[in-house]
Amino acid sequence: MSQLQRQNRRGGERSTGSRHNMKISILVANFEGARSITLHDTEAAASRALMAFVELHWAIRFDKEFIEMPSCETERLRQFFADDRHSYIIAEADLSQLEEHIDTARSLAPRLADRSGSDP
């Protein structure tokens, strides 16, 4: 555990990761029985990707009835995802702990390989 994380657990300043900002935004969109999962550097990028997804699928979503795409993004999202079969979520994940586990595994791997090579 890094010093920054120890300070954070004791109520000190909040850290953004062990060495790097390891946060990503995940967009999951469910539409017509299919699921799209994309990873983005920022929440803003995930939001832009969501709007691009809606614009790309608008005609398919409303093919039997002509509904003009609203100019307001909030209204566009509301109309597109009004049907319970369609949904989306934008979530943030912190991968800094994953990075620490990978680093630990890398440091242990040579020692474990040496041990397994010495066993008959």
| Per-residue pLDDT at 2 | 38
Least confident of 14-28, 38-52, 54-68, 102-116: 14-28
**Contacting residues for 53 by C-beta, under 8 A, at least 6 apart:** 27, 29, 31, 36, 88
Domain boundaries, the chain: 20-118
pLDDT in tens, 31-46: 999 999 999 999 999 9
Sign of the torsion formed by the C-alpha atoms of 77, 58, 51 and 29: positive
Q: How far apart, in whole angstroms, are the C-alpha atoms of residue 45 and residue 27?
A: 10
Mind listing the pLDDT tens digit for each residue in 33-83? 999 999 999 999 999 999 999 999 999 998 877 788 899 999 999 999 999
pTM of the model: 0.65
